Chains A and B, each alone.
Chain A
Amino acid sequence: MTSLDATTDAARRPFEGRRLRLGDLLLQGAAAIAALGALVIVGLIVREVIQGSRVSISTFGLSFVWHETWDPVHNQFGAGTLLYGTVISSIGALVLATPIAIGIALFLTELAPRGVRAPVTALVETLAAIPSVVIGLWGILVLAPILRDHVDPALHSALGFIPLFGPPSSYASNVFTAIIVLTIMILPIIASISRELFLAVPAELKEGALGLGTTRWEMIRGVSFPYARGGVAAAMILGLGRAIGEAIAVALVIGAVTQINVNLFQPGYSLAGIIANNAQGSASGLETSSLSYCALILLVFSILVNLLAQFIVRRAGRRLGGLD
């Protein structure tokens, strides 16, 4: 890697005394401006979202984040219920999606017969490509009634002692439906990143473990998991980021009621969902500004999530680099 970098750098540097050409100046200038443009766009996004939220920030201050009233009639806004809905639905989806995704990744790297591997990989990636509005359409018309009539009551009778699985409601659109829809949406992301991580586990280590007489599962637990741990954590965080920011599908299936209810079978709301449902015109300037404030919370979440994932990947990379 280092020697390759050295040649690149040498090739990049112009010869001493070589005259500057107009074409070089133009291309390098245009390319540099474009790269600067990417920085500017990120800066502009932050600026505009803060700008849009200014009225709401000055009216409600930081307490907007945990206040539970969202009342357009009396112009009182707080994101507490929305934040709760976002967090509970995203974490629920992450809890369900992670083991399934790791199972898929292990299947694709260790178990799948040769002919099955490529098609299943392609199918998992196709699942990621289905637009959220289509998942939402399917979620509200096909999935939600099935969950309400069959799954919700079954879960309540089996796990009813946990407050999350309270008595089923008559609403097909509820927080639990949103969790299932989000699970389907983040499953392929976590699975495809994990697959790449498991593929990168050195064959010598795996063969070494198997040679010591471990079963395949013991090899995976003892070699693959520790090797891929950091990366899988980063993949989970990226999946969580995707779930937190998902607007359309959640807006369609979560029920659109601003209330905090421990029972997952009751309708709720989310930050991204309320923005989507009110995009085509809100009652007052303060409401528009409050929606922008919600977007600001999402933006902060998404940037933090991304930096955290980067940090984990880099730390894991350094740790593994030290092992070699």
Chain B
Amino acid sequence: MSAADLSALQRPNDRLWRRRIVNRLMELLAWVAAALAVFFLGVVVWSVAKKGASALNFDFFTKPYAGVDVPHQGLANAFVGTFVIVGLATLMALPFGILIAIYVNEYAPKAIRGAVNLMLDVLAGVPAIVIGIFVYSLIVVTHGQSGYAGAFALAVIMLPFVARATIEVLALVPNSLREAALGVGAPRWRVTLGVVLPQTIGGVLTGATLAVARVAGETAPLLFCSSLATPGTHWNPSQPLQSVPVQIFELIEQADQQSYAMAWGAALVLILFILFASLGARWLATRSKRKIARAFK
């Protein structure tokens, strides 16, 4: 800010009323903007809740999808498929991401640290649909669709989330703790795995939960990797498995009232799951941060 600007602002009674009105107006606009965001969220959640609630019943969770205009059916196949695919994806991404974070935070020279961080950012920025094309070309073209292919695609999306969350909490652990453990003669690997990592469990779980919440609703990559499921409920990931988001997408494309109703029901279940997962992650995050802060005051 230059001196000229400042002296203009300092001059008293220089159209003071106008400045006040502009100020009020801008403040009002900021209030409106915030209200707008809350309004959008409210409208989306309210529509989904209102239109989805009537679809939820016992059959909805226990019976598989059977096709257009079949009474007493559900989406059990999609719920089971999402559970299996997201579970497998978490099993792949979690250890991989934690190891990357350990490397970045505990071992890597500065230059490599920057390179790995940049790669994680690039990976996080790759659109989900491109990840879908990638796994299609890497696995599906030769081995066909499967739950494993879908899980791998979701794991690629989860990886940067898990790694960055772990890097953040590892950085919170004070060096005095590492130095103390090394000082009493513990080898480096035991310091890392036995002393440093346990301090970060809360933060790692937070990151993992947020990543699960994020990929549970991911449609685009699964369209390529695990969408041509045979009818019925399947648990075996070596064949294509249906999933909740892909099921919603297909129901929308069928464009009839019963399919729309089921899509709203599935959307409600998905949103409730994501809301609870995010709330849980938030709670875990504040708890673990408080724990680390208390332990090293």
Q: Residues of A at under 8 Å CB distance from B?
A: 4-5, 7-8, 11-12, 14, 21, 23-24, 26-28, 30-35, 37-39, 41-42, 44-45, 48-49, 51-52, 99-104, 106-108, 110-112, 120, 122-127, 129-138, 140-142, 184, 187-188, 191, 209, 212-218, 220, 222-223, 226, 238, 241, 244-248, 252, 272, 275-276, 279-280, 291-292, 295, 298-299, 302-303, 305-307, 310
Contacts and interface: CB of A to CB of B under 8 A. Distances in A.
A103 B23 contact: no
B150 to A, nearest CB: 12
Contact of A34 (B30, B96, B193, B275): B96
A36 to B, nearest CB: 9
Contacts of B43: 138, 142
A135 B260 contact: no
B127 interface: yes
B184 to A, nearest CB: 14
B10 A213 contact: yes
Contact of A112 (B34, B48, B263): B34
Contacts of A252: 249, 252
Interface residues of B, number: 99
A45 B216 CA distance: 22
Nearest to A135: B44
A141 B260 contact: yes
A53 to B, nearest CB: 9
A246 B127 CA distance: 7
Contacts of B91: none
Nearest to B96: A34
A38 B163 contact: yes
Nearest to B129: A247
Contacts of B256: none
A21 B186 CA distance: 11
A298 B129 contact: yes
24 contacts: A8-B175, A31-B103, A41-B156, A42-B126, A100-B33, A107-B34, A125-B278, A130-B274, A136-B252, A137-B248, A138-B43, A138-B48, A140-B252, A214-B9, A247-B127, A247-B128, A247-B220, A272-B129, A275-B129, A295-B133, A302-B122, A302-B130, A306-B122, A307-B122
A218 B9 contact: yes
A127 B45 CA distance: 9
A41 B123 contact: yes
Interface in B267-281: 267, 270-271, 274-275, 278
Given A104-B37, A191-B37, A248-B219, A39 B134 contact: no
With most chain A CB atoms within 10 A of its CB, the pick from B119, B125, B131, B178 is B125
Contacts of A30: 99
B1 interface: yes
A99 B37 contact: no
A31 B133 contact: no
B239 to A, nearest CB: 16
Contacts of B59: none
Contacts of B34: 103-104, 107-108, 112, 120
Contact of B175 (A7, A102, A120, A246): A7
B106 interface: yes
A130 B30 contact: no
B31 A107 contact: yes
Contacts of A131: 216-219, 245, 270-271, 274
A279 B271 contact: no
Interface stretch (B62-70, B199-207, B222-230): B222-230
A101 B36 CA distance: 10
Contacts of B115: 39
Nearest to A245: B127
Closest 9 CB pairs of A and B: A131-B217, A245-B127, A103-B33, A34-B99, A31-B103, A279-B223, A215-B23, A247-B129, A23-B189
B130 A49 contact: yes
A191 B36 CA distance: 12
B133 to A, nearest CB: 4
With most chain B CB atoms within 10 A of its CB, the pick from A101, A140, A184, A191 is A184
With most chain A CB atoms within 10 A of its CB, the pick from B12, B26, B32, B270 is B26
Interface in B214-255: 214, 216-220, 223-224, 227-228, 245, 248-249, 252
B161 to A, nearest CB: 12
A315 B96 CA distance: 32
Contacts of B121: 306, 310
B249 A129 contact: no
Given A48-B137, A142-B47, A279-B227, A248 B23 contact: no
A42 B123 contact: yes
B192 interface: yes
Given A38-B119, A99-B33, A302-B122, 4 more contacts: A35-B99, A52-B136, A131-B271, A245-B126
A126 B136 contact: no
B23 A217 contact: yes
A293 to B, nearest CB: 10
